[in-house]
């Protein structure tokens, strides 16, 4: 290849470098813009994205910019309930540190942050939420119902904490379900026994006429059903 041929290829190579360089720069700018869009956007949806990715710093920046954390996203969750469901501790910390956060704000299913923390077995979150005034009693389903249905190693401690804060041990859901019934079907034997030791009424029935012992039998927990029935023999029947 002679000198004149080399000169012919120089403009093409230069143009190719310019095109490739421009494309790479554009891609980097788009990537940076996408990151900034979810991390710093005034759109509250960014808080849900932060919760999904456990990015506490991004959540904190959004809150500092005035994004309202008290909303329900398209998936039916609030930033707080989503963070608790996914175990996004840094986002939970950021939300708890914000004065704008309403710890009673429910998701689309009527579940409060305390209810989600309770069923997930998050003892630290339960303690912190109760400390700042989260309600342990509420109409219909309660945090104690949810705590009784959980299966973590901390469920007993969570149930004890809620009861010590005057949670209604015989709270009735819209269909008449009690915390003891939830423990009998979904929870641990230890939680069911704790509820009985603290005075739960084993005679109560839900709208289908089922007692806590019946709930246990529905899932083949025969030993627990018998334990509830033995306990029931020692507890007076109260007429409602």
Contacts of 194 (CB under 8 A, 6+ apart): 156, 159, 160
- What percentage of the chain has pLDDT greater than the value 70? 82
Q: Which of 80-89, 180-189, 229-238 has the lowest mean pLDDT?
A: 229-238
Tokens read off for 127:
């303690």
CA 97 – CA 116 distance, rounded (Å): 19
What confidence score (pLDDT) does residue 44 get? 87
The DSSP element (H or E) to which 158 belongs, if any, is helix 155-164
DSSP character for 199?
T
CA 173 – CA 111 distance, rounded (Å): 13
CA 88 – CA 15 distance, rounded (Å): 48
User: Does domain 41-101 correspond to CATH entry 1.20.120?
Assistant: no
Band of the pLDDT at 192, cuts 50, 70, 90? Answer: very high
159 within 8 A of 195, measured Cβ to Cβ: yes
CATH class of 112-240: mainly alpha
DSSP string, 62-105: HHHTT-------TTS--HHHHHHHHT-HHHHHHHHH-TT--TT-
Which SS3 state, helix, strand or coil, does residue 174 take? coil
Looking at the predicted structure, is the pLDDT value of residue 31 above 70? no
Tokens read off for 77:
């969750």
How far the first Cα of the chain sits from its last, in Å, is: 103
Looking at the predicted structure, is the pLDDT value of residue 199 above 90? yes
Residue where the block lists tokens 């339960």: 126
Band of the pLDDT at 35, cuts 50, 70, 90? Answer: very low
């Amino acid at each position: 290849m002679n000198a004149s041929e080399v000169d012919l290829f120089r403009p093409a190579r230069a143009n190719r470098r310019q095109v490739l360089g421009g494309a790479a720069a554009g891609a980097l700018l788009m990537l940076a813009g996408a990151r900034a869009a979810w991390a710093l956007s005034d759109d509250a949806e960014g808080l849900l994205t932060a919760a999904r990715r456990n990015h506490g710093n991004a959540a904190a920046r959004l809150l500092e910019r005035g994004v309202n954390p008290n909303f329900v996203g398209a998936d039916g969750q609030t930033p707080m309930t989503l963070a608790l469901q996914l175990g996004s501790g840094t986002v939970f910390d950021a939300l708890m540190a914000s004065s704008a956060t309403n710890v009673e704000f429910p998701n689309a299913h009527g579940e409060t942050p305390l209810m989600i923390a309770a069923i997930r077995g998050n003892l630290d979150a339960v303690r912190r939420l109760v400390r700042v005034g989260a309600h342990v009693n509420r109409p219909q389903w309660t945090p104690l119902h949810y705590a009784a249905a959980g299966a973590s190693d901390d469920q007993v401690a969570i149930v004890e904490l809620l009861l010590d804060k005057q949670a209604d041990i015989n709270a009735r859901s819209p269909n008449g379900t009690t915390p003891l019934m939830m423990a009998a079907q979904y929870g641990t034997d230890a939680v069911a026994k704790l509820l009985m030791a603290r005075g739960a009424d084993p005679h109560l029935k839900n709208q289908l006429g089922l007692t806590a012992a019946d709930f246990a039998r529905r899932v083949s927990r025969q030993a627990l059903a018998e334990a509830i029935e033995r306990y029931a023999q020692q507890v007076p029947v109260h007429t409602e």
